[in-house]
Amino acid sequence: MKRAQQEGESASDLIDQKIKDLGDWRGETLGKVRALIQAADPDVVEEWKWGTPVWSHDGILCTGETYKKAVKLTFAKGASLADPAGLFTSSLEGNVRRAVDILEGQKIAATAFKALIRAAVAHNVGAKKKPAAKKKPAAKKKPAAKKKPAAR
């Protein structure tokens, strides 16, 4: 069920409501994941974007999408993160994002998941501190020399 954010309704309230509305293993899983994210990063900011929970710290860490058969945590810059525990299970072919799909009955590797959240925070904080590399101005193209008409 999609809900528009009402004025005065916080992202945390919307996430609470989403968990309650799901009312099944997906809501329970989303609640557990949320608690792990908050434990891994006490300064995490909860947001509500695109009709889904979003957790940020100096940029998006991950989104929490729910589907019929999975709870998907999509890490915005997952391709840049080390994943020694092999938590990333989908979106593996892309150059930027990676996702963790949690299926019904599947246990969450809490320690590894929190380490992944901390790595995402460190990546975002590090990226924020680095000044953007200055791009060299594009070389000016010389106008093509006009060809003289062939003498007849």
The predicted structure's pLDDT at residue 9: 80
Residue 100: per-residue pLDDT: 93
Return all residues near 67 (Cβ < 8 A) that are at least 6 apart.
none
> How do the pLDDT tens digits run along the chain, 152 residues long?
333 445 568 999 899 899 999 999 999 999 999 999 999 999 999 999 999 999 999 999 999 999 999 999 999 999 899 888 889 988 878 888 999 999 999 999 999 999 999 999 999 998 777 665 566 666 666 666 666 666 66
pLDDT given for residue 4 in this prediction: 42
What pLDDT sits at residue 147?
65
What pLDDT is stored for residue 138 in this prediction?
62
Distance between CA atoms of residues 12 and 55, nearest Å: 10
pLDDT of residue 145: 62
Residue 126, pLDDT score: 87
Q: How far is it, in rounded angstroms, from Cα 88 to Cα 54?
A: 18
| The pLDDT value given to residue 104 | 95
Helix residue ranges per DSSP H, 1-109: 11-22, 25-40
All domains in the chain, ordered by first residue: 11-129 (3.90.1150.200)
